[in-house]
Amino acid sequence: MNQSILWHPFTQHGLGVAEIPVVRAEGAYLYTADGRAILDAISSWWVTTHGHCHPRIVKAVRDAAARLDQVIFAGLTHDLAQEMAERFLRLLAPRLPGLRHIFLSDSGSTAVEAALKMAIGYHAHSGTGRNRIIALEGGYHGDTFGAMSASARDAFTKHYEPYLFPVTHVDPFDVNMLEVTLKARDAAALIVEPLVQGAGGMRMYAPENLAAMAALCKRYGALLIADEVMTGWGRTGTLFACEQAGVQPDILCTSKGLTGGFIGMGATLATEEVYRAFYGTDRSTMFFHSSSFTGNPLACAAAAANMAIWEEESVLERIRAVSECHAAAAPRLSMQEKIYNIRQCGTILALDIGTEGGYLSALAPRLRAEFIKRDVLFRSLGNTVYVLPPYCTTAADLERCYAAITDVAHIVAA
Ligand SMILES: Cc1ncc(COP(=O)(O)O)c(C=O)c1O
């Protein structure tokens, strides 16, 4: 029996695979207690954008920690939150100008919970009577109950299904199916992962589909919630994926890269119209949502520093460099025998190794073990392997990723 007192996430401790102790992180690398340097090809669950321990974010958090640890965010505020919010709206102004209000929380899942409650609350306060939530088949929005309800019904949610609220799932590749559902005019909102469905297997769909779904929501009076927890902060080639479809969501969820991946934080952004539905002198229509650490100063300092990096450094050029390496490697990888379905969206390159799919595919632990032997951190989704690196990753390090994939594909999918 593995007696780990720490119960790790998405981990079957009974398999006896020891966790790797990491003592330091810098740039694209994780340094282990036994002296290895592991290339973080998945940005540590998609969070690290510029690189680990970016000096500007480290300094901002250090400075904040020395003067303001935590303060209740109801009735009180602070300059770090204010600075972060102003910088955020400045970044959004040329891209998604409709988003005007920022509600803070702790993670991607909490950003989604807040979004769902905002959408339902909006319709309740507006008196439309709409309460149905529509989501995409194959989606993933987090592990809290509201987020699980909106997610696909799969291995992640199997045992919890009786406790999930009903959601209508539609196929992102079949926009007509959405229109049929929306025609009932009872939908409060459609929630989507724009362009890339991450945990569902890095499934990618065209900006035209996203634009068509957004137009249908507008036509039939449903709000559009863009869950950009994974796709935000440059992953798909633009600050937010919605930009590529010319789509202005009513509500947007972000986390992960919001702090450059430095510390947990979530944000749910809303249009003036959504905010107004809660606004007034009646206390019963305020947004009944919070968590103890909402607006934590250290998280706000990290987020503000991340935004300063976006404003002042050539982040999009680094993103372009990574995307171009992927684009050059894709044809080479697709020539390999055991590699299928190569797909790319910005800095995300995904492919399938062999044909044994599904999250619980026996291939997944074997793939992980082979990659880690080569000092490259990959965590496949079933047989789907993806390269989703920090933007500081060099062309030479990306080549190491592609070479490891080629090598491992031949060994594992023999
Ligand atoms: C699209 C999407 N939404 C929500 C979440 C949940 O975020 P968190 O793990 O921070 O709760 C994730 C996490 O991977 C995600 O990819």
Query: What strand order describes the sheet that includes 223-227?
Result: 99-105, 266-271, 251-254, 223-227, 187-192, 132-136, 168-170
Cα–Cα distance list, 327 to 121, 340, 345, 379, 391 (Å)? 43, 15, 9, 21, 15
Task: Please indicate, yes or no, whether residues 42 and 98 belong to a single structural domain of this protein.
Answer: no
| 368 located within any domain | yes
Task: Please indicate, yes or no, whether residues 127 and 269 belong to a single structural domain of this protein.
Answer: yes
Task: Please indicate, yes or no, whether residues 33 and 113 belong to a single structural domain of this protein.
Answer: no
Contact residues of ligand 1, CB 6 A cut-off: 107-109, 112, 140-142, 193, 198-199, 227, 229-230, 255
Spatial distance between the Cα atoms of 212 and 223, rounded to a whole number of angstroms: 14
Query: What CATH number corresponds to the domain at position 146?
Result: 3.40.640.10
Task: Please indicate, yes or no, whether residues 40 and 73 belong to a single structural domain of this protein.
Answer: no
Of 269, 292, 312, the last residue of a domain is 312
Spatial distance between the Cα atoms of 280 and 302, rounded to a whole number of angstroms: 32
The three-state secondary structure class of 172 is coil
Spatial CB neighbours of 88, under 8 Å, sequence gap ≥ 6: 102, 267, 269, 303, 307
Task: Please indicate, yes or no, whether residues 260 and 387 belong to a single structural domain of this protein.
Answer: no
| 8 located within any domain | no
DSSP symbol at 352:
E
| 5 located within any domain | no
| 199 located within any domain | yes
Spatial distance between the Cα atoms of 398 and 326, rounded to a whole number of angstroms: 8
Q: Which of 401, 390, 366 is nearest to 380 (CA)?
A: 366
Q: Which of 270, 208, 259, 214 is nearest to 232 (CA)?
A: 259
Domain that holds residue 267: 68-312
What is the phi/psi pair of residue 385, to 5°?
A: -105, 140
Separation of CA 147 and ligand 1 centre (Å): 9
Of 283, 312, 341, the last residue of a domain is 312
Cβ atoms 96, 184 nearer than 8 A: no
Spatial distance between the Cα atoms of 222 and 250, rounded to a whole number of angstroms: 9
Spatial distance between the Cα atoms of 342 and 200, rounded to a whole number of angstroms: 16
Task: Please indicate, yes or no, whether residues 322 and 307 belong to a single structural domain of this protein.
Answer: no
The DSSP bridge partners found for residue 386 are: 350
What is the phi/psi pair of residue 287, to 5°?
A: -80, 110
Does this model's pTM top 0.95? My answer is yes
308, two tokens: 């300063």
Spatial CB neighbours of 20, under 8 Å, sequence gap ≥ 6: 32, 38, 372
Is the dihedral angle over the CA atoms 10, 14, 15, 16 positive or is it negative?
positive
Atom 3 of ligand 1, residue of closest alpha carbon: 141
Cβ atoms 33, 24 nearer than 8 A: no
Spatial CB neighbours of 344, under 8 Å, sequence gap ≥ 6: 204, 323, 326, 327, 330, 350
Query: What's the angle, vertex CA 174, arms to CA 173 and CA 178, rounded to 5?
Result: 120
| 399 located within any domain | yes
Task: Please indicate, yes or no, whether residues 223 and 339 belong to a single structural domain of this protein.
Answer: no
| Model pLDDT, residue 1 | 67
| Model pLDDT, residue 2 | 63
Is the dihedral angle over the CA atoms 357, 41, 141, 219 positive or is it negative?
negative
Q: Which of 102, 80, 75 is nearest to 91 (CA)?
A: 102
Spatial distance between the Cα atoms of 159 and 157, rounded to a whole number of angstroms: 6
Task: Please indicate, yes or no, whether residues 137 and 183 belong to a single structural domain of this protein.
Answer: yes
Task: Please indicate, yes or no, whether residues 138 and 254 belong to a single structural domain of this protein.
Answer: yes
Spatial distance between the Cα atoms of 349 and 324, rounded to a whole number of angstroms: 11
| 276 located within any domain | yes
Atom 16 of ligand 1, residue of closest alpha carbon: 230
Task: Please indicate, yes or no, whether residues 185 and 109 belong to a single structural domain of this protein.
Answer: yes
| Model pLDDT, residue 220 | 98
Task: Please indicate, yes or no, whether residues 29 and 141 belong to a single structural domain of this protein.
Answer: no
Of 287, 312, 337, the last residue of a domain is 312
CA atoms within 13 A on the CB side of 398: 26
Please state the domain count of the chain: 2
Separation of CA 193 and ligand 1 centre (Å): 10
Mode of pairing for the β-strands spanning 29-32 and 37-40: antiparallel
User: Tens-of-pLDDT digits for all 414 residues of the chain?
Assistant: 667 899 999 999 999 999 999 999 999 999 999 999 999 999 999 999 999 999 999 999 999 999 999 999 999 999 999 999 999 999 999 999 999 999 999 999 999 999 999 999 999 999 999 999 999 999 999 999 999 999 999 999 999 999 999 999 999 999 999 999 999 999 999 999 999 999 999 999 999 999 999 999 999 999 999 999 999 999 999 999 999 999 999 999 999 999 999 999 999 999 999 999 999 999 999 999 999 999 999 999 999 999 999 999 999 999 999 999 999 999 999 999 999 999 999 999 999 999 887 888 889 999 999 999 999 999 999 999 999 999 999 999 999 999 999 999 999 865
Atom 4 of ligand 1, residue of closest alpha carbon: 141
Separation of CA 411 and ligand 1 centre (Å): 32
| 61 located within any domain | no
- Ligand 1 pocket, mutate which of 48, 251, 255 (most atoms under 8 A from CB): 255
Secondary structure in 3-state letters for 185-231: CCEEEEEECCCEECCCCCEECCHHHHHHHHHHHHHHCCEEEEECCCC
Query: What CATH number corresponds to the domain at position 22?
Result: 3.90.1150.10
DSSP symbol at 52:
B
- Ligand 1 pocket, mutate which of 109, 202, 253, 388 (most atoms under 8 A from CB): 109
| Model pLDDT, residue 394 | 98
Task: Please indicate, yes or no, whether residues 94 and 112 belong to a single structural domain of this protein.
Answer: yes
